[in-house]
Amino acid sequence: MFLSDTVNLVIEDGVGVIRVNNPPVNALSHSVRSGILAGLEQANANPDISAIVIGCDGNTFIAGADIKEFGQMPKTPHLPDVLQAIRNSVKPVTAALHGTVLGGGFELALSCHYRVAMIGTKVGLPEVNLGLIPGASGTQLLPRYVGVEKALSMITSGKMVSTDSLTDLIDMKVDDGRLGQASSPLPEHASLVNQASILFSQSTANDVFVAPDKRDIPDSFEENIFESWRKKLAQKAKGQLAPQRAIDAIEATTKLPFNEALALERTLFLACRDSEQSSAMRYAFFAEKQAASGHAKSTSSDDIQSVAVIGAGTMGAGIAIAFANSGYSVTLVETNEDLCVLGLERIRHQYQKMYDQGRVSEAQKEHALSLISGTSDYGNLANIDLVVEAAFEKMSVKKIIFSSLDAVCKPSTIFATNTSYLDIDEIATSTTRPEQVIGMHFFSPANVMKLVEVVKTRSTSEQAVSAVMKTAKRLGKVPVCVGVGFGFVGNRMYAAYGREANMLLLEGASPEQIDSAMESWGMAMGPLAVNDMSGIDIAYKARREYPPIYDDPAYFLAADTMVEHGRLGRKTGVGFYRYENGKKTNDPTTMALIAIEAERLGIEARRISDEEIQNRLVLALVNEGANLLEKGIARNSEDIDTIWLNGYGFPRFRGGPMYYAKATGINNTIESINYLYRETNKAWWQPSEKLETI
């Protein structure tokens, strides 16, 4: 019997099965909410039904509220009312779980009287990732099943947890006997878990069952737990509202009657939903999806199975680990056997570190290591599907490598370079297959950082782009396709951001003021601390090897001064800061050295506000982002924002630089950039023509 476009009710052996079919993730759109409510009403009224099951078709149980509906006028029934109806049902309701049970979907499962789950099912309340808190009883019910501490951890991190470890939550586990063969649940899992739920419901239909809100909260938590979580998250989730509000809601459920605490949860949820932070984070969610889309569909014949990584330095080793972690067999290539052995040692050492930190199990470590082998003979690369070159950053070196690869690899091999700056069109001229040459720009550490810039040259085929995008996704990365240009998108914008930090140093702001202003604004790390970490000399050398983007005596003068005084950053124990025993301290010599250069250029030191620092650095990003759109190196603002959110620690609750510029008013942004151009007369502040339409 159809209850709505997406929900039907079937009676099987006295059990009313409410089945949701709303691809791709069975989100709780209006038709799903109204269908489930109608199903409950009909099942409760039908004397032939003694128990109710709620299950889903497709790859997953409900993955949450329909995020696309958030910006629209809310329609009844609201989710809290549907879940209240489940909790109040006079007949026991069992949730049949598989796939990823998230957000409102998990709240629905918590509101049922029983839960049957396919082994490997994951649950989570990821609302904080969207600037929200669970808004339909999640903060109230989860502590009743898993305790306050675990609920605080799950809700404030938004992370998914396997139901296999949540014994108090799941009443029955279903094993389909094919574990390990499929990485994600297949549609038939849904039928199997539904079937098990029917059997389970029949067997429990006559039991006395307790409504979830009547369960006691385990009282095994410290009295000051909420205060200590507030403090911890003020650091860890700096500047974010939702994790703090989630703690308020969980605390309420330990202190107030259920209905009062539930009402508070709703009020806090609505306040979060209507906040700027949540709009920005919802935008970021869809921007990332959009960045990954719009490329030709790759076919299974383009599937990459085998990979070679050229160069076993830090970057090459990280890339090899990223591939091995996702099950690819990797050939690590070095110029001689000794360097190969050294590279493999470096990788083994990395895995040992991950194991010591509890990030991989012994079995995972050994499996990944067994997938990586080394060679110094290009002849062994004939049948490799994808080569990622991470060798020395020099055009002549790259050209030799690519022409050698061209001579030995099968025609379908894709050649990717991890270069950060070099012209990939030029690299491609050293091969007879420029359409197969592409950039795959990983960020360090390559096995950790999510971002991969996939660089399409003038000649790269759409097929090569989609195969590489698909592979990067399989690595768990966030790939964004960009065009060729010095520094591509991320580093090109980072140069504008760093340039402005350097200008502020000349004008009298200290490294610690600049860094703390940006960190309190939400950046993961300040620009000068980052520069010290990566080595100030790297960009210095690049500025000397290639014509600088701007011919201006003040351009990166502060950084150049550091390098010329042997202050290269952490590796020399001193850069913008001083480092002793791994501890960073401020060093007055830094400003003294910079002041000499400023005086030479006639730049007067003045007091600079934190707000000016934040504005100038972010405006520098926005103007450069618009320049890249104008040149066609970046496809759209969503791509740029995805790059900054995943590669540069830009605060997700601000959406990304381009979103931020629009959200705070594009006219104000343009006016501020015009003002800086007039005041400074610096070429880099010339407003991009694209600003109005970013």
- With respect to ligand 3H9, which residue has the nearer C-beta, 102 or 360? 102
CB 187, min distance to ligand 3H9, A: 13
Cβ proximity to ligand 3H9, 130 vs 465, nearer residue? 130
> Over the range 19-58, which residues count as b (16 or more CB within 10 Å of their CB) and which as e?
bbebeebbbbbbbbbbbbbbbbebbbeeeebbbbbbbbbb
**Separation between Cα atoms, residue 401 and residue 611, nearest integer Å:** 48
d(CA 226, CA 248): 8
Identify which of residues 24 and 71 has a Cβ nearer to ligand 3H9 in the complex. 24
Per-residue contact flags (x/-) with ligand 3H9 for residues 71 to 100, judged by CB under 6 A: --------x--------------------x
What is the closest distance, in whole angstroms, from the C-beta atom of residue 315 to ligand 3H9 in the complex? 27
Report how far residue 482's alpha carbon sits from residue 501's, in angstroms, rounded to the nearest whole number: 25
Nearer residue to ligand 3H9 within complex by CB, 55 or 103: 103
Q: Are 35 and 6 in contact (CB under 8 A)?
A: yes
By the rule CB under 6 A, 169 interacts with ligand 3H9: no
Of positions 16, 92, 103, 316, contacts ligand 3H9 by CB under 6 A:
103
CA distance 304 to 446: 19
Report how far residue 29's alpha carbon sits from residue 20's, in angstroms, rounded to the nearest whole number.
11
Segment interacting with ligand 3H9 (CB under 6 A) among 66-74, 349-357, 585-593, 668-676: 66-74
The binding track of 413-452 with respect to ligand 3H9, each residue x by CB under 6 A or -, is ----------------------------------------
Residues 22-51 that bind ligand 3H9 (CB under 6 A): 24-25, 27
Shortest distance (Å) from residue 102 CB to ligand 3H9: 4
Q: Listing from the earlier edge strand, what are the strands of the sheet with 306-310?
A: 372-375, 329-333, 306-310, 386-389, 414-417, 437-442, 451-456, 478-483
Q: Is 62 in the site for ligand 3H9 (CB under 6 A)?
A: no
Within 522-584, where are the H helices? 527-534, 536-545, 557-564
Nearer to ligand 3H9, 79 or 658 (CB): 79
Please tell me the distance from the alpha carbon of residue 406 to that of residue 525, in angstroms, as a whole number: 41
Token pair of 44 as six digits: 């409760």
One character per residue 288-307, x = contact with ligand 3H9 (rule: CB under 6 A): -x------------------
Beta carbons within 8 Å of 251's beta carbon, 6+ residues apart? 226
Least distance between ligand 3H9 and beta carbon 285 (Å): 7
* Residue 280 parent element (H or E): helix 276-292
164-172 CB contacts, 8 Å cutoff, 24+ apart:
164/119, 164/120, 166/123, 169/115, 169/123, 169/145, 170/97, 170/115, 170/116, 170/117, 171/94, 171/114, 171/115, 171/116, 171/200, 172/114, 172/115, 172/116, 172/117, 172/196, 172/200
The residue type of 691 is L
Q: Is beta strand 93-97 parallel, antiparallel or unpaired with respect to 114-118? A: parallel
> Which of 2, 41, 68, 692 is the binder for ligand 3H9 (CB under 6 A)?
68
> How many residues form the binding site for ligand 3H9 (CB under 6 A)?
24
Q: How far is the CB of 502 from ligand 3H9 (least distance, A)?
A: 39
Q: Is 64 in the site for ligand 3H9 (CB under 6 A)?
A: yes
For ligand 3H9, the closer of residues 136 and 280 by Cβ is 136
Binding of residue 639 to ligand 3H9 (CB under 6 A): no
Q: Which is nearer to ligand 3H9, 418 or 466 (CB)?
A: 466
Q: How far is CA 325 from CA 158, 160, 407, in A?
A: 23, 19, 30
Nearer to ligand 3H9, 74 or 239 (CB): 74
Residue closer to ligand 3H9, measured from CB, 24 or 588 = 24
Q: Is 557 in the site for ligand 3H9 (CB under 6 A)?
A: no
Does residue 479 bind ligand 3H9 (CB under 6 A)? no
The least distance separating ligand 3H9 from the CB of residue 83, rounded to whole angstroms, comes to 9
Residue partners of 648: CB distance under 8 A and separation at least 6: 490, 494, 523
Name which of 127 and 641 has its Cβ closer to ligand 3H9.
127
Site string for ligand 3H9, 203-242 (x = CB under 6 A): ----------------------------------------
- Residue 59: CB atoms within 10 A of its CB come to 19
Shortest distance (Å) from residue 77 CB to ligand 3H9? 11
Minimal distance, residue 239 CB to ligand 3H9, in Å: 20
Q: Which of 154, 159, 139, 136 is nearest to 65 (CA)?
A: 136
CB closer to ligand 3H9 out of 126 and 656: 126
Q: Left, alpha or beta for 239 (phi > 0: left; psi -120 to 50: alpha)?
A: left
Out of 107, 334, 587, 638, which residue is the one contacting ligand 3H9 (CB under 6 A)? 107
634 φ/ψ angles, rounded to the nearest 5 degrees: -105, 145
Alpha-carbon distance 109 to 236, whole Å?
29
Tell which one of 58, 92, 104, 526 touches ligand 3H9 (CB under 6 A). Answer: 104
Distances in whole angstroms, Cα of residue 438 to Cα of each of 298, 331, 443, 456, 464 = 16, 19, 16, 6, 8
In the bound complex, what is the minimum distance in angstroms from residue 63's beta carbon to ligand 3H9? 4
**Residue 271, interface with ligand 3H9 (CB under 6 A)?**
no
Per-residue interface string for the shown chain with ligand 3H9, residues 599-638, x marking contact by CB under 6 A: ----------------------------------------
445, exposed or middle or buried, with CB in 10 Å at 0-12, 13-18, 19+?
A: middle
Residue 126-155 contact track with ligand 3H9, rule CB under 6 A, x = bound: xx--x-x-xxx-x-----------------
By C-alpha distance, which of 157, 335, 155 is closest to 249?
155
Task: State the minimum distance, in angstroms, from the CB of residue 468 to ligand 3H9.
Answer: 18
Strands across the sheet containing 51-56: 7-12, 15-20, 51-56, 93-97, 114-118, 172-174
Q: How far is the CB of 131 from ligand 3H9 (least distance, A)?
A: 10
Task: List residues with catalytic annotation.
Answer: 420, 441, 453, 491
Entry field: residues in the chain? 694
Which of these segments, 35-43, 64-72, 253-261, 371-379, binds ligand 3H9 (CB under 6 A)? 64-72
Contact residues for ligand 3H9 (CB under 6 A)? Answer: 24-25, 27, 63-68, 79, 100, 102-104, 107, 126-127, 130, 132, 134-136, 138, 289
